[in-house]
Structure 1
Amino acid sequence: MLFSRGLIRTFLALLALGAIPLSAEEQPLPAQGGPVVSITDLKPVKLERDAHSKLLVAQCTVNGVPCNLIVDTAASHTTFDIKFIKKNFPGLPLEDVQIAPGSNVHAVPRLFAMRSFSMGGLHIKNFFGLALDLTPLQKDMQVKIDGILGINYLGFSPFLLSVRNASLQFLERSRFPQHRKPLDVERDPSGIFYIRCSRGGGDTFPLALDSGSSLSMAPLEQWPADPNGNQLTTKATDINGHNGDCTVMKLGIPSTLRMGPDFQMDGLSFAVTGTGGRYQIGVDTFQHFDIIIDAPQGEVFALPPHSRPEPQGQKAPDIKQES
């Protein structure tokens, strides 16, 4: 993707939901009997692409009420804007969720029971969701959103996500495309997948598989900055209330990134930073190839690339000094 001199909107804080130390196994369900899952349709589901962030938004239904949720493979839990919940389900019991030390989610999420939840042909009864104030995200997106679709829902069935075609399709394993390539992945206890990557044959480093981030980011110690001084100016929005914070980020030297034994991409240049934290592969990279996430089996596959990365960023201005 060729970036202009304008601001690049990044939604890095969507992945902060992954820091919530909950999983479907750890958190008791508020509904009796546990989740009941059924799949009635395997046709591709068309998603809406936000013009600002390039993130994909799915039309879902919660307790019979339509809602629009960002498809975020690096969000551990499906989360709704609390205004949407209070408006559509007045009186619905909400319980505080404890956040472990070190989490970068500042607000306390609220837990609530869902009688039913569905997107496309995947239906779940006796499920649960989280609620937070998502006003900052809503203000910085052109598409109306009511929440975030996390991996705790998407993980019930294998699915193919195509950023290029803006579509998501639930799959049966017997119908996986034959030309898929396995990626080298590990799964966090929260359910989030990390791809073990290496640049130019060097040491491996984990990058979160993150369709909820506009921008791909890598650690500076593994991906040196471009000596030409190329950089991006990003405008970040997060779930902690920050909106419009601008940051200048260096771009890494164009490189080959290996993501699996038989899968790599040439000419990639991620934003690089040495600030620590979690790094990710975002939709700016996933636009070049489709992915299959098979959470029940703990596997991720890539389909052959259908486009190549283009030069991005701008050269940093020369620094003048006066004697």
Structure 2
Amino acid sequence: MKKKTLFSMVIALLLALSIPITGQMHAAGTTYADGDYTLPFSVLKANSNEESATVDYMVSPAKVKMQNGKATVTVTLNNSSWWQYFKVQGKDVQVVSEANDKRIVKFDVEDISQTVNAKIHIIVTGIPGLEGYDNKYDIRLVFNTSSIPPAPVEKPVTQPAKETKPETKPETKPEAKPEVKNEVKPVQKSTEQKTEKPVEKKEVSKNEPTVNKTETANKTETEKDKKSEKPLTKEDEVDSEESDDVLKDEEDELLTVEEELEESADELKEASIEETAQEEAVADEVVVEKDSSNKSLFIVLVVIFAVVAGGIAFAVMKKRARK
């Protein structure tokens, strides 16, 4: 009987100790701040801490979105045609996209700080010597969560502050009302009596210095104007002389530019006149050459006509002589 009671007590102690431990394990998943992160990960074999060959076909780091302690992991798989299935914690992963022999998948993880069990089925195709490779593996994914900040702990601190607010309100209201009423009445009477007599004295005393102040203000303004006029005239004269010199220089530069433009325009006119004269001379030469050629042709034709006519006349003379 004693052994049974001791055994039951030991079991009860172990259960009592295990309850806070499990509570801490579940709370660990909710200590991370919400947000989007990039976490490196390693791929281990199922029964040892050795790295699996599957790591060569998975792109690290992965994209992780934390929300309310749960993580949504997005991973890129290389050689997507080899992957027959990919299951995480007994569930098929969700395919986001697939292109260029790469597949992007995502899956949910309750506690990203713990190892994640997964199952894969790989069939190698397109590589000589490995065409018959068809195997299924159990792997483990371990994520590095050191870059995730902890969740802010501010909510439980504000709760007790709300409870203290209604306690202060009823205490202040009844105390303030009777004190104000009793004190105001005698104060008003005493002030009215005191202020009736000295009012005339204050009004008389105020009028006297106002005249002095206005007179002194006018004097100071006139003195300032007189002082300001003397030094300004010298500097203004110097500035006006310098500005006049600058304006004269600019006008001279403009005149020189206009003269240069006029000279260039005259040169262009003369050049155009010379070109037209040259063109007219060339045209006259061409006309003279045409006239001389026409005259020479006319002389040659006359000579030929005269020779032919002389030959004909000579032939006719011979015929007559024979007869």
Rg comparison, structure with higher value: 2
Greater RCO (CA < 8 Å, at least 6 residues apart): 1
TM range, normalised to the smaller chain? under 0.3
Taking structure 2 as the reference length, the TM-score comes to 0.17
Q: TM-score, with normalisation over the residues of structure 1? A: 0.17
More helix by share: 2
Task: Name the one with the larger strand percent.
Answer: 1
